[in-house]
Amino acid sequence: MARTETVVAFSDLYLPTVNGVTYTIQLWRDRWRQRRTAMPVVFPEMDGHEPGSGEFPLRSVRAPLYPQYRLGLPAVPDALDTAYEPDIAHVHTPFTIGFAGIRYARKQGCPVVASYHTLLDDRASQYVSGNVLDGVKRTCRLYERSFFERVDHVTAPTSFARDHLLETVDADVDVTVVSNGIDTDVFRPVDSRAFEVRYDLPTDRPVLGYTGRHGEEKNLEEAIDAVAGTGLTLVLGGDGPARERLETYAAEVDADVRFLGFLDRDELPAFYSALDVFVFPSPVETQGLVALEATACGTPVVAVDAGALTDSVIQGETGYRYQQGSIGDFQWAITRCLEEQDRLSALCRRRRSMLSVEYSIGQLASLYDDLE
C-alpha cells in the first residue's frame, strides 16, 4: 500500500465565500498538512481573497443564476504542475473546476476522488416549480450521474447522501461515508455569559437557537411557529435572502424571535453554549455541520427527521427529531430536550472525538492509500 502525501483539491467554491464546502476544504487542508505533506487547492478567482501558498486561482466568469459565485475557466495553471507531484486529485464540486480536476488526474496518471457535498435535484425546487420541476430534477440527476461515474471513488458525508447518490441518482460508483468533521478544538463547551450579555439574551426562560443561511430552503418558519405562544425565546444567527420576510412573520405570529445577524466564527462556541436547545428544521442538508458544532459544544439538537439530519442527530442521544410539518411534534421534541438537557448534554460531549476533523482525516488517509 502506497502512502499518499500530496492531494490536489479542486473546488468551484472557495474563499471569500463562506459555507460548508469552503469550511471543509480549509479545515482538511490544515489538518492534512499536519499529518502528511500538502493539499494545494485550485479554485475560481474572486475579488476579496488574496491567494496564499498552495492556492491556485483560475480565471473566472460570473455564474448564471448565481451572481455571487464565479465559474472558473478550466485551464489548470502551469505553476501547479511545476510545484507538486500529485498522488491523488480530490474534486469537491461537479462543475467546471470539478471537470478540470478529473482531466488533471488523468493527465497526471493519479486516482481522482470526488466528494458529494450537494444534492442538486433538491436545490432545483428553490428555483423552479410546477410541471417543469420533475424534468429539471431528472436533468440534475443525469448530470450528477455523468459526473460522478467519471471518478475512481466518491466520499459522502452521511449514509443519507451516499444512499441518495446510489439509489435516487442511480450512479454506478464506489462510495465511502466520511464525515466532513469539525474543529473540536474550537467547538467545545465554553463560558457563554459575556455572549449572553452582549446580545441581551434572556436568563429567565429557555433559549433556542439556529445559525446559518436564512434561505427559503432552511424552513425556518417552522422554528418560529414552534416557539410562538410558548414563552420560549428563539435566537437566529446568520443572514440571508429570507431574513426580512422571517422578521415580519415572527411579528405577525407574536413569537419572541431575536435576529442576531452574522456571527463571527470565534463567537459561535459561545453562541451554541448559550443555548438550551439548537433547532435545525432544514430538510435539504447533506450533513448539517452546525448540528455537529452544537453537539460538540454540549447542546442537544432538535432537527427535522429528513435528509442527512436523520444521521447527524441521534434520537435520544444527541437530541430528538420531529416530523416535518408537524408543529406539535416539533414542540414535543423541544420539550423532551429541555426535560433531559443534562443527560443529553453529557452524551453530546462523549461524542466529540467522533465528530472531530482528525477522525475524518484518518479515514481519508486510509481511503487515499488504498486507491494508490
Do residues 303 and 242 make contact, with C-beta atoms less than 8 angstroms apart? no
pLDDT digits (tens, 9 = 90+) for 40-96: 999 999 999 999 999 999 999 988 766 677 888 888 888 998 999 999 999 999 999
pLDDT digits (tens, 9 = 90+) for 187-229: 999 999 999 999 999 999 999 999 999 998 899 999 999 999 9
Domains plus CATH for the chain?
7-181+356-371 (3.40.50.2000), 193-354 (3.40.50.2000)
Which pLDDT score, from 0 to 100, does residue 51 have? 94
Do residues 90 and 10 make contact, with C-beta atoms less than 8 angstroms apart? yes
Which pLDDT score, from 0 to 100, does residue 119 have? 87
Tell me which DSSP letter residue 14 carries: -
How crowded is the C-beta side of 13, counted as CA atoms within 13 Å?
19
Do residues 64 and 30 make contact, with C-beta atoms less than 8 angstroms apart? no
Q: Which residues of the chain have pLDDT under 50?
A: none
Which pLDDT score, from 0 to 100, does residue 121 have? 81
Do residues 2 and 368 make contact, with C-beta atoms less than 8 angstroms apart? no
- What is the per-residue burial (b if ≥16 Cβ within 10 Å, else e) of 83-116? ebebbbbbbbbbbbbbbbbbbbbeebebbbbbbb
Which pLDDT score, from 0 to 100, does residue 136 have? 87
Cell of 33: 498538512
Spell out where 206-306 has E strands. 207-211, 233-237, 257-261, 277-280, 301-304
